[in-house]
Amino acid sequence: MLLLATGQLRASAQPAVMRRLIFIGDAGEINPKQHKALADAAAHILPGRSIVMFLGDNIYPHGMGLPGSPEEKETQAIIRSQFMPMRAAGAATYFVPGNHDWDKSGKLGLAKIRRQGEFLKEQNDPGLRMVPADGCPDPVEIPLGDSLVVVAYDSEWWLFPHRKPAEGDGCACTGKEEVLARMRQIRDKNAGKFVILASHHPFRSYGTHGGKYSLKDHIFPLTAVKKWLWVPLPVIGSLYPLLRSTIRNPEDMGHAWYKELIGSVTDVFKARAGIVYVAGHEHGLQFIRDDITQVVSGSGAKHSYARKGRHSLFADSRQGFVTIDLMSDKSLQIVYRALEGGEIREVFSYRVSY
């Protein structure tokens, strides 16, 4: 009887899940693996205690089709495939902009990101939002109780090379200094809480955007253009990683604009405990801890190379997503789920104390 009572006491002492956040990045292509990942994510929603956040590149390849365009209906179906199972399961669902949503950094980017937000508003569903909306860079604060807040911001706004919202376009912030000032306000307002900074672009990565390449990239470089172009070019192929690291793309971490983004935002939060950076962009799953804690969840519909680097605790290139649970003991339980043997399974977990 004593042993039974002790066992019951230990069981009751296990921390409970107070809030569950589900992060899925780069889910903007309908395919069987995307469907499997989304179905499993919806199955892990805790009614009344969960939110789902899609971390950008919500619609491949060039964002939302504009009214009357040939791709309008197809792109609407792509984004519906993501939010419908989550809303059916009762979770508030948010979409963060990515570079593909901004017309793959093309000239129609502002029109397309605004149209994506308008389409979500047209669903007349208060549990469905783009954050931030209208192409604005304004950081959006999503409070989740006394111990946790999510701050969503548009990292592509920092890198986008064409027209962006200007003064008079209805944005609270129209410049970088205003964005950073707003972040400092949110930081100070939420002292003592966990803060999850959610954007499309990661600040740490051991994938292709971080300058790391696989043997496939060197031997079959054309698969970067079309995934079915398995043409071996073993010597010429090595020029692809070399040129990509030499001729910088703003979407890669080596570019000066991307470096400025990283430096500016991390400077706001560097002296603050309890910060977790969450992003997609890389089509894989990574968990990195150095001077920041970085969660990468970008394999909702695609997968690409990711490796364990010096500060990696986990890296995987398979389809999947990440859940972050706020526990009753005021810790965060971070769980990675990936496609394994035809099913989505837990493949890594990590507990973060404040």
**pTM summary value:** 0.88
Kindly state the greatest CA–CA separation across the chain. 73
Res 241: pLDDT:
55
Instruction: Write down the mean pLDDT value for the chain.
Output: 89
Examine the pLDDT at 238 and tell me if it is beyond 80.
no
**Hey, what are 132's tokens?**
């931030």
**Residue 122 · residue 176 · CB < 8 Å:** no
**In which band, very low, low, confident or very high, does the pLDDT at 202 lie, cut at 50, 70 and 90?**
very high
**Euclidean distance between CA atoms 259 and 272, whole angstroms:** 20
Res 336: pLDDT:
98
Examine the pLDDT at 161 and tell me if it is beyond 80.
yes
**In which band, very low, low, confident or very high, does the pLDDT at 211 lie, cut at 50, 70 and 90?**
low
Res 218: pLDDT:
41
Number of H helices, E strands in the chain: 9, 14
**In which band, very low, low, confident or very high, does the pLDDT at 237 lie, cut at 50, 70 and 90?**
very low
Mean pLDDT of 29-33: 96
Res 248: pLDDT:
72
Mean pLDDT of 111-122: 98
**Residue 37 · residue 28 · CB < 8 Å:** no
Q: Is 158 helix (H, G, I), strand (E, B) or coil?
A: helix
- Please give the C-alpha separations between residue 12 and each of 8, 20, 132, 202, 332, in angstroms, as whole numbers: 6, 20, 40, 38, 19
**Residue 223 · residue 305 · CB < 8 Å:** no
**In which band, very low, low, confident or very high, does the pLDDT at 234 lie, cut at 50, 70 and 90?**
low
Nearest to 83 by CA among 135, 27, 131: 27
Res 295: pLDDT:
98
For the segment 270-329, what is each residue's pLDDT rounded down to a tens digit?
A: 989 999 999 999 999 999 999 999 999 999 999 887 778 899 999 999 999 999 999 999
Q: Is 272 helix (H, G, I), strand (E, B) or coil?
A: coil
Mean pLDDT of 17-36: 97
Examine the pLDDT at 35 and tell me if it is beyond 80.
yes
Mean pLDDT of 195-210: 92
Residues forming beta bridges with residue 350, ordered by sequence position: 334
For the segment 77-95, what is each residue's pLDDT rounded down to a tens digit?
A: 999 999 999 999 999 999 9
Res 271: pLDDT:
86
Res 177: pLDDT:
97
Residues forming beta bridges with residue 51, ordered by sequence position: 21, 92
Separation of CA 24 from chain center: 6
CA dihedral sign of residues 93, 198, 204, 97: positive
Examine the pLDDT at 220 and tell me if it is beyond 90.
no
Contact partners, residue 323, CB within 8 Å, separation at least 6: 20, 21, 22, 23, 44, 334, 335, 337
Res 208: pLDDT:
85
List the 128-130 sheet strands across, edge first.
128-130, 92-95, 50-54, 17-24, 320-327, 332-340, 343-352
Q: Return the CATH fold of 17-200+275-352.
A: Purple Acid Phosphatase; chain A, domain 2 (3.60.21)
Examine the pLDDT at 149 and tell me if it is beyond 50.
yes
